C-alpha cells in the first residue's frame, strides 16, 4: 500500500483560513468598538457637554487673537468621535481635512480686513457644515441598519438629532452672514460671536426650531431662512417618527427571533 505521506504533509502545511464574520455594521463601525456598547454614549455626553459649556468657554482665546479654546475643543470632540467610532481610515482623513480647513478659515477671517473676512468665514462654515453632515450620514446609516436595539443605539439616535440641529445652525449662521437682515434678533440678546462653529444664537434658534418649541424671540425674516426653518422643523418631526417606528420594529423582530430560537 502506498504511504500517505504526501496527503499528510499537505494537510499539515495547508494554511488555516480564519472565520470572518462580515455584517452590514461591520463594514462601517470600528470592529474593536462595535460590541463595546458605549461608543455612542460617549459621543452623546460630549455633544451635550459642548451645548452646555460651549457658551462659557468658546470666547476664551488660546494662542493669539485668531484661535479660541472652544474651537479646538469642538474639533477634538468631533475628530475623536470619528476615530473612535469608525474603522475606515478614510472617514477620519476626510473629517480631519474638513476640520482643519474650518479652523484655518476661522483664524484667517479674524486676521484679515473686513472686506475679505466675509467670504473666508462663509468658507469655514461650509467646511463645518460638511463635517457635521458627513458625521450625521455615517452615524445615521449605522443606526438605521443595526439589528440590535439597546441603550447605546438610543444614544446614537439622540446624537444624530443633535448633529442635525448643529448642521442647520451652521447653515443659519451662513445665511446671517450673507444676509444680515435674514433674522430678527432682539438687541438685548445680540452677542458678537466670531469663534469657530455656528453662532450660539443660531444654535439656540435651531434647537428651538427642530423641537418645534419656538419661543419667538428670534424669528426668520428672509424667505430662504423661513423656508429652511420650516424644513428643519418638518425634518425633526419626521426623524423622530421614523426613528421610533424603526427602533420598535427592530426590537419586536429581535424579541420574536429570540423566542422562536428558545422554543426550538
Q: What is the structure's pLDDT at 247?
A: 80
Given this model, what pLDDT does residue 190 score? 77
> What pLDDT does residue 83 have?
72
- pTM for this model (two decimals): 0.78
Q: Is 167 exposed, middle or buried (0-12, 13-18, 19+ CB in 10 A)?
A: buried
* Helix 39-57 vs helix 69-85: crossing angle, to nearest 10: 170
Residues in the chain with pLDDT < 70? 1-37, 54-71, 86-87, 192-198, 254, 258, 261-264
CA angle (203, 209, 215) in 5-degree steps: 95
Per-residue pLDDT of 11-35, as tens digits, reads: 444 444 444 333 444 445 554 444 4
Enumerate long-range contacts of 118-121, CB under 8 Å, 24 or more apart. 118/177, 118/178, 121/177, 121/194
What's the pLDDT score for residue 95?
86
Give 11-41 as a DSSP string: HHHSPPPPP----TTTTTB-HHHHTTS-HHH
pLDDT at 103: 81
Q: What is the pLDDT, as a whole number, of residue 230?
A: 96
Amino acid at each position: 500500500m502506498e504511504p500517505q505521506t504526501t496527503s499528510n504533509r499537505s494537510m499539515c502545511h495547508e494554511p488555516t483560513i480564519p472565520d470572518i464574520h462580515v455584517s452590514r455594521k461591520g463594514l462601517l463601525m470600528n470592529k474593536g468598538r462595535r460590541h463595546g456598547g458605549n461608543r455612542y454614549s460617549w459621543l452623546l455626553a460630549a455633544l451635550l457637554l459642548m451645548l452646555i459649556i460651549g457658551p462659557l468657554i468658546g470666547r476664551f482665546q488660546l494662542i493669539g487673537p485668531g484661535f479660541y479654546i472652544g474651537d479646538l475643543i469642538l474639533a477634538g470632540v468631533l475628530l475623536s468621535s470619528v476615530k473612535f467610532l469608525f474603522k475606515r481610515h478614510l472617514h477620519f482623513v476626510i473629517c480631519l481635512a474638513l476640520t482643519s480647513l474650518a479652523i484655518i478659515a476661522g483664524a484667517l477671517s479674524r486676521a484679515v480686513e473686513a472686506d475679505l473676512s466675509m467670504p473666508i468665514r462663509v468658507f469655514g462654515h461650509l467646511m463645518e457644515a460638511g463635517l457635521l453632515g458627513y458625521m450625521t450620514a455615517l452615524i445615521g446609516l449605522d443606526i438605521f441598519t443595526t439589528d440590535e436595539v439597546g441603550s447605546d443605539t438610543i444614544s446614537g439616535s439622540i446624537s444624530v438629532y443633535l448633529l442635525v440641529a448643529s448642521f442647520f445652525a451652521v447653515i443659519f449662521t451662513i445665511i446671517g452672514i450673507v444676509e444680515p437682515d435674514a433674522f430678527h434678533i432682539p438687541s438685548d440678546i445680540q452677542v458678537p460671536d466670531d469663534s469657530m462653529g455656528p453662532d450660539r444664537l443660531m444654535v439656540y434658534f435651531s434647537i428651538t426650531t427642530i423641537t418645534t418649541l419656538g419661543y419667538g424671540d428670534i424669528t426668520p425674516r428672509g424667505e430662504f431662512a423661513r423656508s429652511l426653518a420650516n424644513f428643519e422643523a418638518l425634518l425633526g418631526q419626521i426623524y423622530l417618527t421614523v426613528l421610533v417606528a424603526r427602533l420598535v420594529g427592530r426590537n419586536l423582530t429581535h424579541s420574536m427571533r429570540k423566542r422562536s430560537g428558545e422554543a426550538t
